[in-house]
Amino acid sequence: MRGQPPVSRPPSLDGLDVSGTPHAQFLATEHWSLLATRSMTWNEIFSRTGTYLTVLSATVVALSLVANATGFGPDFRTFALLVLPVVLLIGLGTYFRLIEAEIEDAWLVIAMNRLRHAYLELAPELEPYFVAGHHDDGPGMLQTYAFRNRVGVTHWLSGSPVIVGIIDAVVTGVLAAIVCQAVGGGVVARTVAGVVVAVATVVALGGVAYRKVHRASRDYHPQFPS
């Protein structure tokens, strides 16, 4: 009818009418839940890494004391062969758990990006105020992680799993050198054995991490790509 104000359609979320229903509150509640879960995940990452480094530091101190008392003799090798496998076991467990935690954190970031996308569907005018990503694909995740579309090698090398993996490789190389010494190997043989085993450990741990990440992302299809 003439003179009647135009009817404005309420904002919608995937075609769902949001008038009269506090969808934004539901989304915010879910967002806070995901944020709390992500905080717990990062606390576990820091806690496990700190525990492993504490055990490693205590082991190094103990080996130093035994070496001073025995002069790197057979008793030192026996003690080292007893404690280093335990340290390595803790280190490998820490590494694998950190990889799983990083994957879980990635899924949490994806979920939070989807919620931000929903916020922008409800209020598109807020987009200039969003710094974190609101797409659930690779670039969107990086936008949330590092506030840019790509990160350099230093960003990946500074991650907790990489640091723990390198320490595990060093411990494995030292253990291999001690085993080589125990069976009568010379200095050159011990050095070569330690370096080769350490490098092989780095490659093996990197391959395991790559397979886990690839398996987690293989069947994933983003719903809101960039």
pLDDT tens for each residue of 87-145: 999 999 999 999 999 999 999 999 999 999 998 888 888 888 888 888 888 888 888 88
pLDDT of residue 165: 96
Residue type, 63: L
Residue 196 pLDDT class (50, 70, 90 cuts)? very high
The string of pLDDT tens digits covering residues 154-195 is 777 888 999 999 999 999 999 999 999 989 888 999 999 999
**Positive or negative: CA dihedral 94, 100, 101, 106:** positive
Check if the beta carbon of residue 59 is closer than 8 Å to that of residue 75.
Answer: no
pLDDT of residue 11: 45
Q: Can you name the residues that pair with 12 across neighbouring β-strands?
A: 17
- The H or E element containing residue 16 is strand 16-17
